[in-house]
Amino acid sequence: DVKVTQSSRYLVKRTGEKVFLECVQDMDHENMFWYRQDPGLGLRLIYFSYDVKMKEKGDIPEGYSVSREKKERFSLILESASTNQTSMYLCATSPGGRDTIYFGEGSWLTVV
């Protein structure tokens, strides 16, 4: 079974804080993704990476950055958290191409 682990399930941060969300996968997948999930808006892609040190912007990259120093780890960074970044953040991986995407359990972030 594919295992995608998000280190924090629930976080509460203050406005302006720097926030790190970590994701680790154990399947040697090439591709990793960060989405945010909001009611009525579905899943929106923030960033994705198809190789170590490679990244591409998704649909809503503003206010976020990412880091992929090792193949198994993909981090999402909120440089200065704002209340409109309160959301559920989902990490996902896939082997590549048009193959299935596998999701982590999600990280609930509340910015106060």
75/94 with CB nearer another protein: 94
For the beta carbon of residue 54, count every other beta carbon within 10 angstroms: 11
Q: Does 60 bind another protein (CB under 8 A)?
A: no
107 binds another protein (CB under 8 A): no
Identify any residues that bridge with 12 across adjacent strands, giving them in sequence order: 110
The interface with another protein within residues 11-40 (CB under 8 A) comprises: 31, 33, 35, 40
* Nearer residue to another protein within complex by CB, 11 or 45: 45
Q: Are strands 42-49 and 31-38 parallel, antiparallel or unpaired?
A: antiparallel
Give min distance, CB of 14 to another protein, in A: 26
Residue carrying the six token digits 């082997």:
95
Question: Can you tell me which residue has the tokens 């809503």?
Answer: 60
